Amino acid sequence: MSQHTSFDRHVESIETELKSAVMGRGDLALYRMMAQHMGWVDELGEPVETRPDLRVHPTLCVMVCEALGGEPAQALPAAAAVELVLRSSQVHGDIQNGVPERNGRPTVWWTWGPAQSINAGDGMHALARLSLLRLADEGLTPERAFRAVSTLDAAALRYCEGQFLDLTYQDRVDITEEAYFEALESRWAALLGCAAELGAQMASAGEGAEQAMALYGRKLGAASHVRDDVMRLWGSAFELMPQAGDLLNKRKSLPIVYALRNATGAERRTLGDVYFKRVMEPEDLDRILEVLERLGAREFAQEKADALCREAIEALNDAGVSAQGLEELASYARYLSAGDS
């Protein structure tokens, strides 16, 4: 599936806003570490001439603002703020999971060490809040600027709650589908919901539209993450390898939760043998995949992603968006949750 047109339309303005927030702070190596994680420079600080990473969250923020009658430029500080919180959490998550590489380049902690990497992640979170607070200097009332910060902080806290649950579940095999979605809705769903809600706030769309867009974003975040669960397990070898750390760390994706609940006999023993090991090994992934295939876990998970996508699109009916905006946001939802992209 080709890249969604919204990325091309907004990528330049989003990258400019993000670079202004990060690289306009001075020559301290701390900001070079952040730039490395954002994909702008390599580990030596040399510029990288490649296409930027997909900015899913900030693109949604700008799209929502535009769909509700706002100017895209109004949403750029908020869009940058959500992206910086996401990337901050990635920096910390790479340390927690021991991930040496992300998107084909060394992770920050792998290059600079865990201690300085934590500093970089914390700094990116602070830059996110500053990005929103400066809205008060650009014509937004202080009350609305602080409300935007509150929305961002609430989503960031929810993300931390979800990360706590996700880490707690790693060594357990009794995770229910309900528990899985509780953790999921706290993490990726919360941040994408925040992006959509901030977009509505920047358009001054009113409380009803903000709530509808927040629901749209949360449902879309859940759908896209379930889709990512599928791609981690059944993507190409190139796509799978960077994600192997998640799987070997016993992270419970939806297909695995489904299998743990439905396996019987030899399949249940196989899963037990793998997940009760102190340390999983690469060859264990093949054993897991064999069980998942027999149980239909892939089809189950993709059906869940499709259902969540439909719920996201239904939420748009209460948002008061234009016909063109509705079409574009629905298309974006299908793009992020599609099983073949």
Quick: pLDDT tens for 136-149: 887 888 899 999 99
Give percent of the chain with pLDDT exceeding 90: 59
> 239: pLDDT confidence band, cut at 50, 70 and 90?
very low
Mean pLDDT of 26-43: 93
**Residue pLDDT, tens place only, 294-328:** 999 999 999 999 999 999 999 999 998 988 999 99
pLDDT given for residue 247 in this prediction: 63
Q: Residue 49: how many CB atoms within 10 A of its CB?
A: 5
| Rounded distance between C-alpha atoms, residue 172 and residue 44, angstroms | 40
| Rounded distance between C-alpha atoms, residue 60 and residue 325, angstroms | 11
Residue (of 8, 34, 140) closest to 78 by Cα position: 140
Mean pLDDT of 196-201: 97
Comparing 99 with 19, the larger pLDDT belongs to 19
pLDDT given for residue 2 in this prediction: 53
Mean pLDDT of 270-283: 78
Write down the H helix ranges in the chain: 5-23, 29-38, 56-67, 72-97, 108-112, 114-133, 142-169, 177-186, 188-202, 207-234, 237-240, 244-248, 254-262, 265-275, 282-295, 297-315, 323-337
> 249: pLDDT confidence band, cut at 50, 70 and 90?
low
Report the mean per-residue pLDDT for the chain. 88
Give percent of the chain with pLDDT exceeding 70: 94
Which pTM value belongs to this model? 0.90
> 237: pLDDT confidence band, cut at 50, 70 and 90?
very low
- Contact present, 277 and 284 (Cβ < 8 Å): yes
Mean pLDDT of 88-113: 92
- Contact present, 135 and 78 (Cβ < 8 Å): yes
For residue 287, CA distances in Å to 222, 229, 280, 291, 339 come to 27, 17, 11, 7, 23
pLDDT given for residue 92 in this prediction: 95
pLDDT given for residue 115 in this prediction: 97
